[in-house]
Structure 1
Amino acid sequence: MAFSLENPALSLPGERGELVHALAEQRELLLITVRGISDGQAAQRTTVSELTLGGIVNHLTQGERVWTQIMVKGDGELPEGMLDVEQYRMVEGDSIAGLLERYAAVARATEEAVAGLPDLDRRAPLPVTPWSPPEPEYWSARRILLHLIRETAQHAGHADIIREALDGANTTAQR
């Protein structure tokens, strides 16, 4: 399965374009780890962790969707599904192709949202969660994008380990 996320981010000017491009680069590294795998392989655990390649794609899709919603709405409301533990799994009926289609759609939505922001200094209150500090916390759109870059990079590394344990392939060999 050849799959690549389109990258209209390159047309965004300045810092906004640089951050969205950095996020797109991390997504591309993640996509290397799922090249040519079957649905069964995408759902297979290969380490002591519960994580699977499909589960990581599902989690990053859900995570990017909710963080983009937090960044755009700026209302402090907890986005639907943000605390859903099922986001870390590839559930019955999911296919890797379907997960990748949803990931690509979320990536496009994130890039469109960033393009539409008045500026990256726009601050949004974070939703209240069980681990929230007592005082409300606010993040700029910039910080949310940096969080998405970090989260995607971290999970791309996890995915690389999972893929290498699955069949010996890794992102270094597949570039």
Structure 2
Amino acid sequence: MTASALHEYLRTARESMLWKLEGVGEYDIRRPLTPTGTNLLGLVKHLATIEFGYFGLVFGRPATEPLPWTAEDADPNDDLWATADESREWVTGLYRRAWAHADATIDELEPHAVGRVPWWPPERTEVTLHRILVHVVAETNRHLGHADILREGLDGSVGSRPDRDNMAPGDQEYWTAHLTRLEEAARRASAG
């Protein structure tokens, strides 16, 4: 896959990630929705940090603004949640600024440009821009999958865009029957 195709996949995933926040109240985008604290706004902050790191620091182009949650003495999960002082607008703006920083790296360097990932094992620290593109596309889509599940649990919204839910056709009656079938299959399989 070419760097331009990977870049397009990254752009699509970024936009989908921000769509997951649309229409969700302030409390629901911040509150922990899993036992490990996963939350929608925290996923966006984490992805901003990933883009600043992989497309910035790795290629000698560090973030243009301070990211205190990446300091050595910071809690390892500080990039996975937003403080009360970090507004939705600030976090989404940070993500968009990370995109611009990353896009400049992608546009200005060749796919075979070499960088170094200091937090990876020594035998894997040297990477190409192409490899980092693959890594960040995978990482972004992984977290987008988390956001899909969280958002569906909050209000039933599914899909990658408001106009594309990527679901099999069916009304509420269909989905209720479908869930009943799955529940019955799970019970039968676990019974013996």
Category of TM-score, reference length = shorter chain: 0.7 to 0.9
Displacement of 1:34 in angstroms is: 0.9
Displacement of 1:38 in angstroms is: 2.3
In 1, distance between residues paired with 2:132 and 2:29?
Answer: 28
In 1, distance between residues paired with 2:43 and 2:35?
Answer: 15
Q: Deviations over 1:128-155 (max 9, x none)?
A: x4xx435463110001111110010000
In 1, distance between residues paired with 2:24 and 2:6?
Answer: 29
TM-score (normalizing by structure 2): 0.71
Aligned partner letter, 1:89 = W
Percent sequence identity is 24
Residue 89 of structure 2 aligns to a residue whose secondary structure is: helix
Mark the CA change 1:144 to 1:85 in structure 2 (over 3 Å): closer, same or farther.
Answer: same
In 1, distance between residues paired with 2:124 and 2:22?
Answer: 41
Q: Does 1:105 align with 2:97?
A: yes
Q: Residue 51 of structure 1 is aligned with which of 24, 38, 44? A: 38
In 2, distance between residues paired with 1:169 and 1:150?
Answer: 22
Q: Does 1:152 align with 2:140?
A: yes
The gaps in structure 2 that reach 5 residues or longer are 164-192
In 2, distance between residues paired with 1:109 and 1:69?
Answer: 7
In 1, distance between residues paired with 2:90 and 2:144?
Answer: 19
TM-score (normalizing by structure 1): 0.78
Question: Counterpart in 2 of 1:123?
Answer: 114
Q: Does 1:28 align with 2:15?
A: yes
Question: Counterpart in 1 of 2:59?
Answer: 72
In 2, distance between residues paired with 1:122 and 1:15?
Answer: 14
Q: Deviations over 1:109-130 (max 9, x none)?
A: 111111111x111111220x4x
In 2, distance between residues paired with 1:95 and 1:162?
Answer: 20
Mark the CA change 1:19 to 1:40 in structure 2 (over 3 Å): closer, same or farther.
Answer: same
In 1, distance between residues paired with 2:82 and 2:150?
Answer: 14
Aligned partner letter, 2:121 = P
Mark the CA change 1:167 to 1:49 in structure 2 (over 3 Å): closer, same or farther.
Answer: farther
Residue 171 of structure 1 aligns to a residue whose secondary structure is: coil
Aligned partner letter, 1:38 = G
Q: How many residues are aligned here?
A: 155
Q: Does 1:171 align with 2:159?
A: yes
Mark the CA change 1:124 to 1:165 in structure 2 (over 3 Å): closer, same or farther.
Answer: same
The gaps in structure 1 that reach 5 residues or longer are 1-13
C-alpha contact 1:74 1:124 (8 A) present in aligned 2? no
